[in-house]
Structure 1
């Protein structure tokens, strides 16, 4: 949602379609990790706490005012249609794994670099913002994550939200790192449907040991005689590489036909309409360089199946660049 709002801000237009959403609560079952997994009424008054010392929480008033501009009605309709088309038909996780995110202190960044909230009737704190190039971003932490363990302590053992914030701050400052075990929001919803039972597998971003996910950050550069990166893109729910020109920059840097494009110059592509994507590429041509994060389709499906978010700051990424 944050990404869609940011994209709407860049395009100067935001439309919201709102409808009531009611789900009957599941019958409570005995579970080792999470309890009282009941549905709540969304968007209640929430308490936010920043774990990012160098940034202040943005003002929600100024944010929403800034996207209320008048634009051409047809243009707004086209943008909304593109976003709606992208929102449906994507792969849902079927076997969500817990993820172990190790936040390592970095002298170039003050604090952990993320914000937590507590929401009424939820029994886990939720990550609502992750700062770029922060320890949180490099750990694999993602907006929407539900925190279920801090170090080896079950989140249910903490008496209050403030206790959670305190232990994260204190552990990070004293030890130079803090380990969080989390689930994505879709993974958490599936957990609720299953009555609270977690998959035993824990994915560790520091040592993933997963052959199926070969994530590649290709740092393309154009030589003086080149005018194009040598690939074409196609959007069919996902953004992927349609074709590669032999001998081009994309070919040299190991981009393959059928690769799923996750980021362009650090911007997550699933939140971008095609006009914005084309704009990024055209500007990159002028600047003679483009960072493109790709993964093969099998790897992408694996990451979705097990609810493992990916980004270009992760420690196990294969970086392809000119030596």
Structure 2
């Protein structure tokens, strides 16, 4: 008996017939193109999400301070009486305006800073404050060698209000004095995440305001990069910041530079102030740069101004 064999496929297609399958190499090409397209679209989505979210305001819910004042204290070198003065100054201001204080200890960040100068600790201190108060909108870093001298004015009315900030910012201005070819942008308040001043030599991070958000975390991580900390900058984190502002337009494009006296006036006995950067009565802050290099644990230059501040507090 013979069994019928199944019909065999002819190796030659019938006239008029066309294969519906793409050649193997063509399918591989299309697959590669599809993978690259998905990767590019994903990258564009991430970048658009980053820049849109960085400018999105964080609104502090009821019962949460909109401003956190960050003060880094070296409790191993500063005297207890001096620390008490700084704490009293910050607590009075915070209580008046519903702000929150974050007092950080420099010793808590020794491991993170490593072999770099300990002045770098201000960066993880601000990052720590943001992690502790994630719903707060602004973080105001202020040197322990500075006093808030005008307790009656809020940070909002003095600096953060839209029209006020846009009128104060220095536009098309050398980012590093006196004649850096890199200059500030003309920005709108909604696009600003970092507010800072400069003295006669550099940008000065002893007093700055940082808006909470993705950009703030990116900026602090970039600034604290081990490469910058290991580089022998003469002024450590200050020169690291100068470098970032001049070489990273992504950061500069979200930074407002304001006159020194707005946020960081130097005492009249301090050198290095910018033109019109020395303290005048009515300024929000006075800072004592020479005390950064002091070895006594106190800052004698602060005492007469502390007495003036205390008199204002008692009178209000």
For Structure 1 versus Structure 2, the TM-score category normalised by the shorter chain is: under 0.3
Relative to total residues, which structure has the larger helix share, 1 or 2? Answer: 2
**Structure number, greater radius of gyration:** 2
* TM score, norm. by length of structure 1: 0.26
* TM score, norm. by length of structure 2: 0.27
Relative to total residues, which structure has the larger strand share, 1 or 2? Answer: 1
